[in-house]
């Protein structure tokens, strides 16, 4: 029933075929390169076989309707991991629509509190501390241990009294001693931002540090970034807005994408357009309309959920 | 040889009689549906019958059934989540683009096969690969979309191709 472990030779062939494919796709190959690719293919039947397989694979993708296939195969891990929930022996409840719940990971199913894409929530903990969840976020709350575990997404926590609260993340824990902290976690990093007060930080496998109001630090598996500063008075997601101050449009769109169910794409030419403004997060599609009205771009809707931004055509 | 085949058939019979309803219940608890559980339980026994393992040699028959059952559950959920995503995507299409039932079935089968193939790839690698294959984006564009360097995209693409080719070569 189990797939056999691939042989060392199969691995070697697959790897060199993969490298050749990427070289071909990433741009101009010289005559010499092409000749050497040809020699590689002819060197062994296995090479030629792998090369053929790769072309067949590409053909299968090409035969698919792109929009539908993208939406289906690029569905979040939540969709793919729902199966694990069955493994854990929990009852299965089918989500109403995958768009509503996409992006929530496995652990989020068992989480105490969660938001879907585009949702925000605010709750008051037993001791009066205020916990706010941003889009696509899941947390576990242990009132007795005074601990909040961020499974995924972004939260802010404002302490109500002198009793510290612990925040656990995949990249380390933080002890909030006073004031308010923001924590944002994605697949590769966790960012801690101190709005007011101070906190201790124990990054996984790295030495502890202290964070004060206005300071921000990013922690990954590879290490702890430099402590930066930010403007605590600038409104943000906690106020339901996205603020851009002369920043590249690409950054804004990547941020907006977190709040919007569906697919958002844009032409590379738009990436570095400068944008300034304050946008309401409750209506991400309206943000696109506003951008189209103020910047030289237009929005193409492939489906209700798939928006593509392209440069506006010049009137000749 | 005949004796061995006979004793194996008899052992299978006993395995089936003794464990079918237990397995069905076990699956049913995980699926929340008796109907699907009955189907999957039949599938499980079919796999046991077709599998390389001689049934008479099984020390822990229920553990073996559970191992196979779990694997089938995984496939079942994966198929279902993919089908749901596919139907949702279709629902977003204007009427004129609606494919015929045959086309749907064909596309769905291809999607299943490719979904299985991409299984196990990290999220970014999978997305980079899909953007390249489905949307035909160049590496530079993919880098911009994902907010990573072009070098990372190349690394992702090598990883994805290697993974897919390895599955095909085995």
pLDDT at position A47 is: 93
Instruction: Pull the structure tokens for residue A306.
Output: 């798939």
Which residues make Cβ contacts (< 8 Å) with residue B59, sequence separation at least 6? none
Q: How far is CA A158 from the centre of its chain?
A: 25
Give the pLDDT of residue A84: 43
The contacts of residue A300 (CB under 8 Å, 6+ apart) are A307, A308, A309, A310
According to DSSP, residue A269 is labeled G
Which of 2.60.120.1440, 3.20.20.140, 3.60.20.10, 3.40.50.2300 is the CATH number of A112-229? 2.60.120.1440
pLDDT of residue A19: 95
Residue ranges matching CATH 2.60.120.1440 in chain A: 112-229
Domain with CATH 3.55.50.30 in chain A: 237-311
Is residue A267 pLDDT above 60, yes or no?
Answer: yes
pLDDT tens digits, one per residue of A51-74: 999 988 998 898 888 888 888 888
Using a CB–CB cutoff of 8 Å, tell me whether B87 touches chain A. Answer: no
What pLDDT score was predicted for residue A155?
Answer: 97
d(CA A120, CA A243) in angstroms, rounded, equals 17
Task: Report phi then psi at B126, rounded to 5.
Answer: -60, -45
What pLDDT was estimated at residue B170?
A: 53
Which residues of chain B neighbour A10 with C-beta distances below 8 Å?
Answer: 166, 169-170
- Which residues in chain B are contacts of A82 at CB distance < 8 A? 77, 80-81
Contact of A229 with A216, CB cutoff 8 Å? yes
B129 pLDDT above the threshold of 90: yes
Interface test with A, best of B55, B76, B88, B97 (most A CBs within 10 A): B88
Q: How buried is A262 (Cβ within 10 angstroms: 0-12 exposed, 13-18 middle, 19+ buried)?
A: buried
Residues 6 or more apart whose CB falls under 8 angstroms from that of B164 comprise A54, A57, B117, B118
Model confidence at B79, in pLDDT bands (50, 70, 90)? Answer: confident
Q: Does residue B103 have a pLDDT over 60?
A: yes
Closest CA to B65 of B33, B23, B34, B103: B23
For range A172-193, the mean pLDDT: 93
Beta-bridge partners for A280: A241
Q: What's residue A44's pLDDT?
A: 92
User: Which of B141, B158, B170 faces A6 most closely, judged by CB atoms?
Assistant: B170
Specify the pLDDT at position B149.
Answer: 94
DSSP secondary structure, A41-78, as one string: HHH-HHHHHHHHHHHHHHHHHHTS-HHHHHHHHT--HH
Q: How far apart are CA A14 and CA B144, in angstroms?
A: 27
Band (B139; pLDDT cuts 50, 70, 90): very high
Mean pLDDT value across chain B? 84
Residue A270: DSSP 8-state: G
Which of A13, A68, A95, A189 to substitute to test the interface with B, most B CBs within 10 Å? A68
Q: Do B123 and A13 touch (CB under 8 A)?
A: no
What's the complex ipTM? 0.76
pLDDT band at B3 (very low <50, low <70, confident <90, very high): low
CATH number of the domain at A237-311, please?
3.55.50.30
Listed by number, the residues of chain B in 111-150 with a beta carbon closer than 8 Å to a beta carbon of chain A are: 111, 113-115, 117-119, 123-124, 126-127, 130, 132-136, 138-141, 144-145, 147, 150
pLDDT tops 90 at residue B2:
no
What's the pLDDT score for residue B83?
83
Q: What is the mean pLDDT of residues A181-207?
A: 91
Q: Give the pLDDT score at A35.
A: 92
- For chain A, say whether B16 makes contact (Cβ under 8 Å): no
Detail the DSSP E strand segments found in B83-161.
Answer: none
């Amino acid at each position: 029933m189990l797939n056999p472990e691939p042989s060392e030779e199969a691995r070697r062939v697959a790897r060199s075929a993969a490298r050749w494919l990427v070289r071909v796709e990433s741009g101009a190959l010289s005559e010499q390169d092409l000749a050497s690719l040809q020699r590689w293919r002819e060197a062994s039947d296995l090479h030629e076989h792998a090369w053929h397989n790769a072309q067949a694979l590409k053909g299968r993708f090409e035969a698919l309707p792109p929009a539908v296939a993208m939406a289906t195969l690029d569905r979040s891990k939540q969709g793919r991991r729902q199966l694990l929930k069955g493994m854990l022996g929990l009852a299965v409840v089918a989500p109403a629509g995958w768009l509503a719940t996409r992006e929530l990971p496995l652990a989020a199913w068992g989480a105490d509190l969660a938001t879907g894409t585009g949702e925000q929530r605010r709750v008051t903990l037993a001791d009066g501390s205020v916990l706010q969840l941003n889009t696509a976020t899941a947390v576990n709350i242990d009132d007795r241990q005074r601990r909040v575990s961020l499974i995924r997404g972004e939260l802010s926590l404002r302490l109500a009294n002198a009793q510290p609260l612990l925040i656990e993340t995949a990249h380390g824990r933080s002890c909030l001693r006073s004031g308010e902290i923001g924590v944002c976690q994605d697949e590769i990093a966790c960012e801690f931002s101190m709005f007011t007060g101070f906190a201790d930080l124990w990054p996984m496998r790295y030495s502890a540090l202290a964070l004060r109001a206005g300071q921000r630090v990013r922690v990954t598996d590879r290490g702890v970034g430099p402590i930066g500063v930010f403007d605590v008075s600038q409104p943000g997601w906690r106020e339901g807005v996205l603020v851009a101050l002369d920043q590249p449009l690409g950054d804004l769109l990547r941020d907006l994408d977190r709040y919007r169910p569906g697919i958002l794409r844009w032409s590379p030419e738009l990436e570095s357009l400068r944008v300034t403004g304050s946008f309401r997060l409750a209506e991400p599609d309206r943000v696109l309309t506003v951008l189209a009205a103020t910047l030289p771009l237009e929005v193409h809707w492939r489906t209700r959920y798939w928006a593509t931004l392209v440069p506006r055509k010049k009137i000749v | 040889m005949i004796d061995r085949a006979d004793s194996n058939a008899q052992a299978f019979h006993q395995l089936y009689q003794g464990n079918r309803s237990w397995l069905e219940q076990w699956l049913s608890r995980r699926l929340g549906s008796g109907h699907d559980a009955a189907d999957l339980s039949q599938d499980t026994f079919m796999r046991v019958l077709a599998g390389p393992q001689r049934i008479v040699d099984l020390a822990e028959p229920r553990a073996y059934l559970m191992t196979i059952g779990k694997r089938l559950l995984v496939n079942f959920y994966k198929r279902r989540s993919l089908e749901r995503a596919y139907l949702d995507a279709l629902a977003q299409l204007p009427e004129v683009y609606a494919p015929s039932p045959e086309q749907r079935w064909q596309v769905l089968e291809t999607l299943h096969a490719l979904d299985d193939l991409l299984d196990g790839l990290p999220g970014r690698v999978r997305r980079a690969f899909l953007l390249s294959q489905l949307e035909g984006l160049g590496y530079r564009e993919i880098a911009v979309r994902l907010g990573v360097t072009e070098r990372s995209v190349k690394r992702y693409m090598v990883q994805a191709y290697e993974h897919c080719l390895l599955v095909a070569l085995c």
